[in-house]
Amino acid sequence: MTEVKAYAAKASDANLEPHKIERRDITADDVKIEIEYCGVCHSDIHQVRNDWKNSKYPVVPGHEIIGRVTAVGDNVKGFNEGDLVGVGCMVDSCQECDSCKEDLEQYCENGATMTYNSPDKHLGGHTFGGYSEQIVVDKEFVLKVPENIDTKAVAPLLCAGITTWSPLRHWNVKKGDKVGVIGLGGLGHMGVKFAHALGAKVVMISRSPSKAEDAKRLGADEVLISTDEDEMEKHQGSFDFLLNTIPVGHDVNPYVGLLKRDATMVLVGAIEPVDPVHGGALILGRKRIAGSVIGGIKETQEMLDFCGENNIVSDVEMIDMQNINDAYKRVVDSDVKYRFVINMKSLKEN
Amino acid sequence: MTEVKAYAAKASDANLEPHKIERRDITADDVKIEIEYCGVCHSDIHQVRNDWKNSKYPVVPGHEIIGRVTAVGDNVKGFNEGDLVGVGCMVDSCQECDSCKEDLEQYCENGATMTYNSPDKHLGGHTFGGYSEQIVVDKEFVLKVPENIDTKAVAPLLCAGITTWSPLRHWNVKKGDKVGVIGLGGLGHMGVKFAHALGAKVVMISRSPSKAEDAKRLGADEVLISTDEDEMEKHQGSFDFLLNTIPVGHDVNPYVGLLKRDATMVLVGAIEPVDPVHGGALILGRKRIAGSVIGGIKETQEMLDFCGENNIVSDVEMIDMQNINDAYKRVVDSDVKYRFVINMKSLKEN
């Protein structure tokens, strides 16, 4: 084991502070990674604050990890020292269930091991995430990162990116489809970029007229203000697909009205109850509401390759590790365009 | 025009009583039908009582119509005097929109003409349904009824039947699938019969242990009592498809838990808000909730042909037209196994 520097919350009401953690020695199947950048996801804050009632302290958050390989185990092929790699929300899964066999480790029927706050099969205790100097990860959960795109802005692709990419691909969004992206935050801004890159006619749907200009810069063809009833009426029954990134419970019925017959709205943000859905609105158009979480490793690699080929990264604001607590406050206030990324060099200087 | 006998409600609080209505003379495209049997659907009661706030009085309900052809227009091919035919929930649609072109007239983008209480394109006013001696219907909305199955028990196939058949087919329920049918009423009993006939392993899901025996007689392999938490837990994540026939708003979350990853629950009964759905329950299994209404004419004919080949009909209790008001009370009390059918000969004796 090696002791490494990290930042951790020690209790649900505590600020993050410097903390030492142990990383395992690499096994034959492991890749050791020196972390260069780590994105800040809203779920980091939920887990630090124990909003989901399953946090184990100390919590070392961080599941949008970019770094360089510093060592590989004997069984590892395809990764070499110095390679630019990524680690997302998962670091292990059973690899045996139907979901794993279908490259859908995120739905592992025996429970995937999440990058932090999940039982650690190697050391016992729980896993520690990317707000740290280095990490050791099973080779099946390490991703190759294209060298040609802005490395620091790749980090959020590992969660915000794949969370929006996966449903767009699974529901087969294609050239010419009319796609609505609801909510313009960390997830929504990636949804707009990806839907645009896939050739869809993209409508950014938001309550805030102030976001219109930025949405168009990101790739939206049109902006629909959801509080404008006349505009909402004009778009009734016209969408092939809706990607709903709103991170809290809300009234989904106005959006259901926007769907065409047989079209789907996919929730990717609201991990809590949404307001009552009108059964009739679904029934009278054979409409669908679904959910989707992150994506499998194979699909995440496909996304990274696509991003390399199409020069797609996240819009990020860089911070030092020491500013994490202020950054959390700003995330909660939706005051970031569109994702904070920690420059992990700052941790060394701590 | 021809004056014919019917039964109608004159106001939302009124019992149904004898009433004269006008039927149009047949056009070149019409089929004239002497009605022999008409099923009693719960939506008849909703419309008589103006529950959906769109009833026009007098309301002559009835959209599960079986009868014999007595005359055909010059353009009509394939129907001849004496043929046994059916008319379901629709009597016309635009025939030009995408939905109509895809044989999905029930989703006609210009609004299908419903069998009763819909604007009447021919005579003005509104359409009158099957609680009457005869009806004149456009040839495209007349169905051929197999002669080899119990004619009076065919009537409910035109609404309760197709409402359950259509989603089972659209979501491709097949041999070996584990299918749950939630609620055992007019719709549910047909859902069990059809899912069984399609080769699925059928689980009847009900709050009432008293329905277990009957469910098995209808074709269920197993009965799951939804109030038994241990049993519900055992079936978690195991269903390929759920057909939810509960006719009112309710908590769908326990049923969402029963779905496998990527599986769908289809609402066919609850034309009103359902309780808040937990977004996380959809997201963490890429699960889907959808709706579906009746079925297209082509699909309805396929269902009737399948019923002829597999000797499937509804379980019915016959009544005379004069007993309709008592029958409504019993429908509301769920006191019928599983559908009332009016013997329309009784109307002539009025």
pLDDT averaged per 10 residues in sequence order, chain A, 350 residues: 96 94 97 98 95 95 98 97 98 96 97 97 96 98 97 96 98 98 96 98 94 94 96 97 93 96 95 86 95 97 98 97 97 93 90
Q: Is residue B308 part of a domain?
A: no
Same domain, A132 and A183: no
pLDDT digits (tens, 9 = 90+) for A218-249: 999 999 999 999 999 999 999 999 999 998 88
pLDDT digits (tens, 9 = 90+) for B8-51: 999 999 999 999 999 999 999 999 999 999 999 999 999 999 99
From B252, B276, B291, the end of a domain falls on B291
Q: How many residues does chain B have?
A: 350
Same domain, A204 and A269: yes
Is B279 close to A109, i.e. CB distance below 8 A?
Answer: no
Q: What is the CATH number of the domain that holds B228?
A: 3.40.50.720
Secondary structure string (H, E, C) spanning A14-27: CCCEEEEEEECCCC
According to the model, what pLDDT value does residue B70 have?
98
Is B283 close to A276, i.e. CB distance below 8 A?
Answer: no
Is A281 in the B-facing interface, judged by CB distances under 8 Å?
yes
According to the model, what pLDDT value does residue B348 have?
86
Residue with tokens 């080929």: A309
Q: How many residues does chain A have?
A: 350
Choosing among A289, A294, A299, which should be mutated to test the B contact, i.e. which has the most B CBs within 10 A? A289
Same domain, B89 and B125: yes
Q: Is residue B300 part of a domain?
A: no
Q: Is residue B105 part of a domain?
A: yes
Q: Is residue B115 part of a domain?
A: yes
Contact indicator for B196, B202 with CB cutoff of 8 Å: yes
Q: Is residue B309 part of a domain?
A: no
Q: In the predicted model, what is the mean pLDDT of chain B? A: 96
**A-chain residues near B242 (CB < 8 A):** none
Q: Is residue B304 part of a domain?
A: no
Is A286 close to B286, i.e. CB distance below 8 A?
Answer: no
Checking if the pLDDT of B90 tops 80, the result is yes
Checking if the pLDDT of B331 tops 80, the result is yes
Distance of CA A134 to the CA centre of its chain: 20
Same domain, A16 and A120: yes
Q: Is residue B299 part of a domain?
A: no
Task: List residues bridging with B180 in a β-sheet.
Answer: B203, B242
Instruction: For residue A339, give the nearest of A54, A10, A63, A29 by alpha carbon.
Output: A63
Same domain, A26 and A90: yes
Q: What is the CATH number of the domain that holds A72?
A: 3.90.180.10
Same domain, B260 and B173: yes
Same domain, B189 and B150: no
**A-chain residues near B292 (CB < 8 A):** 283, 286
First to last CA, chain A: 22
Nearest CA distance, A272 vs chain B (angstrom): 5
Choosing among B289, B294, B299, which should be mutated to test the A contact, i.e. which has the most A CBs within 10 A? B289
How far is it, in rounded angstroms, from Cα A121 to Cα A193?
Answer: 37
Q: Is residue B90 part of a domain?
A: yes
Contact indicator for A183, A245 with CB cutoff of 8 Å: yes
Q: Which of A280, A281, A286 sits opposite B107 (nearest CB)?
A: A286
In percent, the amount of chain B with pLDDT more than 70 equals 100
Same domain, B215 and B176: yes
pLDDT digits (tens, 9 = 90+) for B177-235: 999 999 999 999 999 999 999 999 999 999 988 889 999 999 999 999 999 999 999 99
According to the model, what pLDDT value does residue A247 have?
87
Please give the residue range of the domain that contains residue B138. Answer: 2-158+315-348
In percent, the amount of chain B with pLDDT more than 90 equals 93
Question: Do the strands B143-144 and B84-87 form a parallel or antiparallel pair, or are they unpaired?
Answer: antiparallel
Is B291 close to A268, i.e. CB distance below 8 A?
Answer: no
How far is it, in rounded angstroms, from Cα B277 to Cα A304?
Answer: 33
Q: Please state, in angstroms and as integers, the Cα–Cα distance from residue A345 to each residue in A24, A116, A186, A331, A349, following that order.
A: 21, 21, 23, 22, 7
According to the model, what pLDDT value does residue B346 have?
97
Q: Given its phi and psi angles, is residue B62 left (phi above 0), alpha (psi -120 to 50 degrees) or beta? A: left
Amino acid at A279: G
Is B111 in the A-facing interface, judged by CB distances under 8 Å?
no
Q: Please state, in angstroms and as integers, the Cα–Cα distance from residue B192 to each residue in A151, B183, B189, B210, B302, following that order.
A: 56, 10, 5, 16, 18
How far is it, in rounded angstroms, from Cα B33 to Cα B81?
Answer: 9
Is B291 close to A280, i.e. CB distance below 8 A?
Answer: yes
Same domain, B142 and B166: no
Same domain, B269 and B245: yes
Question: Do the strands A113-114 and A90-92 form a parallel or antiparallel pair, or are they unpaired?
Answer: antiparallel
Contact indicator for B333, B1 with CB cutoff of 8 Å: no
Q: How is residue B259 written in tokens?
A: 């779905």
**Total domains present in chain A:** 2
CB contacts < 8 A, A to B, total: 118
> DSSP letters of B284-302?
TTT-EEEE--S--HHHHHH
Amino acid at A296: G
pLDDT digits (tens, 9 = 90+) for B278-293: 988 999 999 999 999 9
Instruction: For residue B92, give the nearest of B167, B16, B27 by alpha carbon.
Output: B27
Same domain, A282 and A247: yes
Same domain, B95 and B176: no
**B-chain residues near A241 (CB < 8 A):** none
Checking if the pLDDT of B350 tops 70, the result is no
Taking only residues 160 to 189 of chain B, the set having a beta carbon closer than 8 angstroms to any beta carbon of chain A reads 170
How far is it, in rounded angstroms, from Cα A34 to Cα A69?
Answer: 6
